[in-house]
């Protein structure tokens, strides 16, 4: 009888220990799934710019959290409810990931610039002047610098210009001159005006000769 009672006691202890272990596994699974869900929610609260700037770190953190959560479910007593909870957050994260990835990919699209835009960028800096030839950013304080930069860039690169480049340069120069007429009325100093006149005096005959030369070269090539 004593032996039987001892055996029952041992079995009961084993069962209790097993149940306790199961409860611990369940608690651990619930904790890791909750941590995972909280992480995904926090990603959703990050601003779009911050998320895109730090996406590699965010995704690395996500992969660690989801891996931990899925491993904990293997030994959970009530895994089904936790799996459903996990699936909802997974769908939320994948939606966020698709959104940010699309925006990041869009930034990687290479914009092929036209020869005319490359020419304008060469004269004034990237993106300063577009197809509309808008020089509204030129004012009495910077116009001398703009003319000087234009002239120096022209001298440095004119040897590579095609006839079309010279035609575009003429339009650019005329648009800049038109802006100068406006700036003169806005307080352009006489000193800067004189210096600009000197640049224009040197540019005009140089441009005329170079443009004729480019047209002549193209006509000669066409005859070959």
H or E element, residue 89 = helix 79-107
Decide: 73 and 33 in contact? Cβ < 8 Å: yes
Write the burial class of residue 108 (CB in 10 Å: 0-12 exposed, 13-18 middle, 19+ buried).
exposed
Separation between Cα atoms, residue 148 and residue 150, nearest integer Å:
5
pTM > 0.85: no
Indicate whether 66 and 119 sit together in one domain: no
Helix, coil or strand: residue 42: helix
The secondary structure of residue 109, as a DSSP letter, is: P
pLDDT in tens, 62-108: 888 888 878 887 777 777 877 888 788 888 889 888 888 888 877 77
Indicate whether 100 and 52 sit together in one domain: yes
Indicate the number of domains in the chain. Answer: 2
Indicate whether 72 and 162 sit together in one domain: no
Indicate whether 142 and 69 sit together in one domain: no
pLDDT at 165: 93
Residue keyed to tokens 């070269």: 217
Examine the fold and report which residue of 41, 74, 107 is the final residue of a domain before the chain moves on.
107
Indicate whether 145 and 123 sit together in one domain: yes
- Average pLDDT for the chain: 83
pLDDT in tens, 174-209: 999 999 999 999 999 999 999 999 999 999 999 999
Query: Going by C-beta distance under 8 Å and a sequence separation of 6 or more, which residues neighbour residue 21?
Result: none
pLDDT at 19: 42
Examine the fold and report which residue of 44, 74, 107 is the final residue of a domain before the chain moves on.
107
Predicted confidence band of residue 218 (pLDDT cuts 50, 70, 90): confident
Q: Which of 111, 32, 102, 107 is nearest to 70 (CA)?
A: 32
Decide: 107 and 64 in contact? Cβ < 8 Å: no
Examine the fold and report which residue of 75, 107, 139 is the final residue of a domain before the chain moves on.
107
Q: Which of 143, 127, 151 is nearest to 182 (CA)?
A: 143
Phi/psi class of residue 109: alpha, beta or left (left: φ > 0; alpha: ψ in -120 to 50)? beta
Domain coverage including residue 140: 115-223
Indicate whether 54 and 143 sit together in one domain: no
């Amino acid at each position: 009888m004593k032996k039987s009672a001892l055996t029952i006691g041992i079995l009961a202890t084993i069962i209790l220990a097993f149940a306790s272990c199961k409860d611990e596994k369940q608690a651990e699974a619930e904790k890791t799934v909750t941590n995972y869900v909280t992480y995904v929610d926090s990603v959703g609260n990050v601003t779009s710019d911050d998320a895109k700037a730090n996406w590699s770190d965010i995704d690395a953190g996500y992969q660690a959290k989801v891996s931990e959560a899925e491993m904990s479910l293997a030994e959970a007593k009530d895994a089904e409810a936790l799996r459903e909870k996990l699936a909802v957050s997974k769908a939320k994260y994948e939606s966020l990931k698709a959104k940010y990835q699309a925006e990041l990919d869009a930034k990687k699209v290479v914009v092929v610039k036209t020869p005319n835009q490359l020419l304008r960028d060469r004269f004034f800096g990237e993106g300063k002047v577009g197809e509309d030839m808008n020089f509204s950013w030129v004012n009495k304080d910077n116009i001398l610098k703009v003319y000087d930069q234009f002239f120096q860039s022209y001298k440095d690169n004119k040897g590579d210009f095609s006839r079309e480049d010279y035609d575009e340069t003429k339009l650019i120069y005329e648009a800049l001159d038109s802006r100068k007429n406006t700036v003169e009325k806005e307080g352009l100093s006489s000193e800067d005006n004189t210096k600009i006149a000197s640049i224009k005096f040197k540019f005009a005959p140089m441009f005329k000769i170079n443009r004729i030369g480019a047209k002549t070269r193209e006509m000669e090539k066409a005859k070959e």
